[in-house]
A and B are shown apart, each in its own frame.
Chain A
Amino acid sequence: MPKRYLVFRWCIYALATLVLSFFQLLVADHVSLYGITPFLAPMLVGVVSSYEGSRAGPIFALVFGVLCDLGTTAPAAGFFTFTFTLAALVAALVAERLFSPGFLCSLASTAVCYLITALARFVLLASSGAVGAAAVLAVEEFLISLPFLLVVFPVYRWVHQKTAIDY
């Protein structure tokens, strides 16, 4: 695959991610059900991994994780970098083995990403004794974020289709 094409492809992915990050900031952050707001970052990692597989997916997750760590309030330094990369790797492996790329595949890898992110949070909270409350919160967050897959999935599918060429 030519380098110039790769750069173009990932620039479009970056642009789509930027648009979806603004969507989180301008729309999703203002949606609240029982005090819980959707958190789309693990979903972005999950959907990209389901399309780009276990080679490019984790690299995207690594870069995205670093930016999340530097630009947002992370539970611990480097939390999103490590968690998102691991989540993308596992999600892509699960998706590759069980599904062909599509909505179901993205749904499965998204669920895996939320699960791994939640497990990482539980590890951090283990000493505080708040794991029970955190588990409830993680499930609620996943359920409230899930409908937004109907927004995130078409965006990345469009990017994947428009930039995919056979070699």
Chain B
Amino acid sequence: MKRFLTKHGIVVLSVATVVAVALSLLSFFSSNTNVLSNIVQTVSSPFRSAATAVTGWVEGIHSYLTEFDALQEENAALKIQIAEMEEQLRQAERDSEENATLRRLLDLREQRRELNMESARIIQEDTSNWASTLTLNIGDSFGVSVGDCVITETGDLVGVISETGSNWSTCTTIIDTDTSIGAQIFRTGDIGVARGDFSLMGQNRLQLAYLDADASPQVGDLVVTSGLGGYYPSQLVIGTVDEVMTDDDGLAQYAVLTPAVDLSALSQVFVITDFSIVE
């Protein structure tokens, strides 16, 4: 054993340590992603796209064969929902006109919300139990940078860009334990932090922590990004309150959120490369 460790084990382990340290240094000193990682990800990007296409095709056939009745029911429910939303839209248009008139009368600055977006396709979903990330098919060359928000076509927050390469980028989703985003309960305006949690990640849920002692979240409350600090745009939908819990010490409360977005059903997303919001 001693002879072996001197001869082989220690040597291999030392090489592994040196390589690991080299990778750490490369990662530390690179502004975005280290060169080696970028090469591997760039080369493997088409293969991952192909694998995703194959699984998507198989899942599509499976859905076509098994979900026809459910889709018919969903279609009927959606028609009713569209009718209701059209009525709400007409009301909103009237409210918007009234709002503009009142703002003019009171000489208030007009609200402005500009989001510059790039469309992206998901080429790989990392379903590891320890992280929840999506690999997108656009990167540096499209102006994507670390910290950019990723949303769906309906404005629901998917996650934040955590790594970029030339033709790819990694989006850390909102349920990942590395994610921490300023959030706000839409109904009450209570501020908290939406963050991933190991025990909730498997259930596709996240936590709304650091709520004020007098906050009063209720099940069903909509939670949006707060936009505080200006890092992320405000009013992006994170999800709804599913449960209201008390911390182990019994002093603070937190809410368990169900994301508005179904992370497993995503194929197309939008990266907010720049934003300007005046409220």
Interface of B is mostly: helix
Is B199 an interface residue, CB under 8 A from the partner?
A: yes
Are the CB atoms of B23 and A69 closer together than 8 Å? yes
A125 to chain B, nearest CB (A): 8
**Chain A residue, CB-CB nearest to B41:** A71
Docked complex: B22-44 residues within 8 A CB-CB of A: 22-24, 26-28, 34, 36-37, 39-41, 44
Are the CB atoms of A26 and B198 closer together than 8 Å? no
**Chain A residue, CB-CB nearest to B205:** A35
Interface of A is mostly: helix
- Which of the four size classes fits the interface of chain A? 35 or more
Are the CB atoms of B133 and A73 closer together than 8 Å? yes
Is A150 an interface residue, CB under 8 A from the partner?
A: no
CB contacts (< 8 Å) of B15 on chain A: these are 62, 85
Are the CB atoms of B199 and A141 closer together than 8 Å? no
**Chain A residue, CB-CB nearest to B54:** A26
Are the CB atoms of A78 and B21 closer together than 8 Å? yes
CB contacts (< 8 Å) of A54 on chain B: these are 4, 8-9
Task: Tell me, in angstroms, the Cα distance from A80 to B144 when the chains sit together.
Answer: 27
Q: How many residues from B make CB contacts under 8 Å with A?
A: 47
The stretch of A102-110, A130-138, A159-167 in contact with B is A130-138
Q: With A76-B24, A130-B177, A136-B199 known to touch, is A37 a contact of B130 (CB < 8 Å)?
A: no
Is B66 an interface residue, CB under 8 A from the partner?
A: no
Are the CB atoms of B8 and A77 closer together than 8 Å? no
A97 to chain B, nearest CB (A): 9
Are the CB atoms of B12 and A58 closer together than 8 Å? yes
Q: List 12 A-B contacts (CB under 8 A).
A: A25-B51, A30-B127, A37-B128, A39-B128, A39-B129, A58-B16, A62-B12, A78-B21, A85-B12, A133-B198, A134-B198, A137-B198
